Amino acid sequence: MTPAIFGISGTELTADERAFFKACDPAGYILFARNCESKAQLRALTDALRELHGKDQLFICIDQEGGRVARLRPPIWSPFPASEVFDQLYQIAPASAIEAARVNAQALALELAEMGITVDCHPPLDVRQPGAHDVIGDRALGSEPMQVAALGRAILDGLARGGVTGCIKHMPGHGRSMCDTHKEMPTVTASAQELATDLSPFRALNTALIGMTGHLLFTEWDTENPATLSKTIIENVIRGEIGFDGLLLTDDIDMEALEGIIPERSARSIEAGCDLVLNCWAKLDDMDGIVNALSEISDAARARLSRVEDAMSAPPDAVDVTELIAKRDALLQVTSEAAA
């Protein structure tokens, strides 16, 4: 098995993709809007991936947070709000905000599960910092670490009830970024004491089955390598201080925050301690280069992936999506009433 999550170019597998994926046996796949045309088409695509691998429990993920980060959109799929709305409600009614976040995530997960999607790259546990770039912005669950942890835990629970496994991100924290990692690498100069705030939500939810790194340079821990490529940060901070022992994915290895060719970045991330490389853009040349640059998945990574796959066998709760959305909206109405 290749320790990578690969993208797919279109709404169905091409002959070249089918042959390539069959030969290299990636750990899983990631879907984008380009892969999602209709419910019948998307379910046929995920079924084709499972058939290709000969197993029902397959890592098929998507970025479906709500707001601006949503690959499945109306009118085919339901609209879901950005995380900021739960932050706003938490300021007025914390218990209501936690319940609203949970039922929202459950409804979202039920729609994903219906499409054969097993993993959602959600929630971000990045603590929002004043003056930071809006690459996180309204995606954040708040600026207070324990609030972020409480809402993040509700989201993980809601996703699981809907039959989907969540992925916490972006370790060890993306909230201080002053630029967009899709375009360039942020340098964070905060002290260890300041960074303890960023680590806190991840530590609180360190039993999550899946986590994702961020492409940020933290000078307090490593002056040369961003977190994704830093053995020091992965071993001492993510696995050590945070205590995370779940499956660790890179953020998209193709982002411009990282230097070097894609296969080289991929090899460095695995050498640093990531379990799987995430490569989103479905470029066969890049994917072939990654396969050639990487060794077989490690025993530790395979065991962590097996725990994720085992969780996929749990059936979702039998709840109607419209009822969950109605409950969420009723809870969120408190914020509108308070502002009136």
Q: What is the pTM of this model?
A: 0.96
- Taking only the tens of pLDDT, the chain with its 340 residues reads 999 999 999 999 999 999 999 999 999 999 999 999 999 999 999 999 999 999 999 999 999 999 999 999 999 999 999 999 999 999 999 999 999 999 999 999 999 999 999 999 999 999 999 888 888 999 999 999 999 999 999 999 999 999 999 999 999 999 998 888 887 889 999 999 999 999 999 999 999 999 999 999 999 999 999 999 999 999 999 999 999 999 999 999 999 889 999 999 999 999 999 999 999 999 999 999 999 999 999 999 999 999 999 999 888 888 999 999 999 999 999 887 776 5
For residue 52, give the amino acid letter: L
Q: Which one of 126, 251, 275, 286 is the catalytic residue?
A: 251
| Cβ atoms < 10 Å from Cβ of 88 | 18
| Structure-token match 């039920």, residue found | 110
Which DSSP letter does residue 251 get?
S
Instruction: Identify whether 170 is a catalytic site residue.
Output: no
Q: Which one of 134, 182, 310, 329 is the catalytic residue?
A: 182
Helix, strand, coil % in the chain, rounded to nearest 5? 45, 15, 40
What is the spatial distance between Cα 128 and Cα 258, in angstroms, rounded to a whole number?
23
E-state strands within the chain:
2-7, 26-31, 59-62, 64-66, 69-70, 119-120, 165-166, 168-171, 187-188, 210-213, 217-218, 247-249, 277-279
Correct CATH for 2-339 of 3.40.190.290, 2.30.30.100, 1.20.990.10, 3.20.20.300:
3.20.20.300
Instruction: Identify whether 16 is a catalytic site residue.
Output: no
Structural domain spans, the chain: 2-339
User: Quick check: bond before 201 cis, omega within 30?
Assistant: no
| Cβ atoms < 10 Å from Cβ of 146 | 11
